[in-house]
Amino acid sequence: MRSHTFKLLAVLAHPDDESLGFGGTLAKYAAENIETYLVTATRGERGRFGAAGKSANIEEVGRVREMELRAAAAVLGIREVSVLGYPDGGVDQVDSRTAIPDILRHIRRIRPDVVVTFGPEGAYGHPDHIAISQFTTAAALCAADASYRMDFISIS
């Protein structure tokens, strides 16, 4: 009889969310041989950059912050990092007909035992955190229904 490998999937908004809010949880379970995965909505291209915390070219900021995300994930023991590439500061503007299937694909591919994301308040009211929470919750509900097909998503 084959033993089940437990899996945890975190779906978050920005590079640094994995460390600031979820780092201890992700590291703990990775250290306990739980396969730990991360889906991040944005590259964080509109976030602070450099020692002075100033903005720079958004493509460069996104590239650097994604590299930082991947380095942090390696330290935390995260097995796989996926970036959806949504606009930083605009996750709440992403069409749910795009976001829910994007996240659902990861859930169905990984088949996690646990999915974690922000609570409905987005930790401190950040619109990107609230949006990724809503999209992830909807995707998890869809994934729980074996008969659910992604081409059924339509909003009237």
Please give the mean pLDDT across all residues of the chain.
Answer: 91
Confidence of residue 56 (pLDDT cuts 50, 70, 90): confident
Contacts of 1 (CB under 8 A, 6+ apart): none
Average pLDDT of 118-123?
96
User: What confidence score (pLDDT) does residue 50 get?
Assistant: 67
Point out the least confidently predicted range of 11-20, 36-45, 53-62. Answer: 53-62
Measured distance CA(83)–CA(97) in Å, rounded: 18
Given this model, what pLDDT does residue 4 score? 87
Res 21: pLDDT: 87
Q: Which domains does the chain have, with CATH numbers?
A: 7-152 (3.40.50.10320)
pLDDT at 154: 47
Query: Is the pLDDT confidence value at 35 over 50?
Result: yes
- What tens digit of pLDDT does each residue of 122-141 get? 999 999 999 999 999 999 99
d(CA 40, CA 18): 9
CA–CA gap between residue 27 and residue 84 (Å, rounded): 22
pLDDT tens track for 79-98: 999 999 999 999 999 999 99
Q: At what angle do helices 127-144 and 96-110 cross, to 10 degrees?
A: 60
- Per-residue model confidence (pLDDT) at position 19: 95
- The fraction of the chain above a pLDDT of 90, given in percent, is 79
